[in-house]
Amino acid sequence: MPIPVCGLSVAEFCKEHRFSVKQYESWQKRGLGPKETLFPGTNVRRIMPADYEAWLARVQRPDVQMAEAQRRTAASKLYGKLALKSPRHPMNLIRKVTRKPKTA
Answer whether residue 88 is part of any domain: yes
Report yes or no: 47 and 35 within 8 Å, Cβ to Cβ. yes
Answer whether residue 104 is part of any domain: no
Say how many domains are in the chain: 1
Instruction: Residue 50: count other Cβ atoms within 10 Å of its Cβ.
Output: 13
Parent domain of 78 = 8-98
- Whichever domain contains 89, its CATH number is 1.10.1660
Answer whether residue 103 is part of any domain: no
41 or 101, which is more confident?
41
**Rounded CA gap, 92 and 94, in Å?**
5
Give the pLDDT confidence score for residue 50 in this predicted structure: 92
- pLDDT at residue 87 tops 60: yes
CA 37 to chain centre: 21
Give the pLDDT confidence score for residue 4 in this predicted structure: 67
Give the pLDDT confidence score for residue 51 in this predicted structure: 92
Answer whether residue 2 is part of any domain: no
Q: What does the pLDDT look like over 22-75, one tens digit per residue?
A: 989 988 988 888 999 988 888 888 999 999 999 888 888 767 777 888 888 889
Give the pLDDT confidence score for residue 75 in this predicted structure: 92
Q: How confident is the model at residue 3 (pLDDT cuts 50, 70, 90)?
A: low
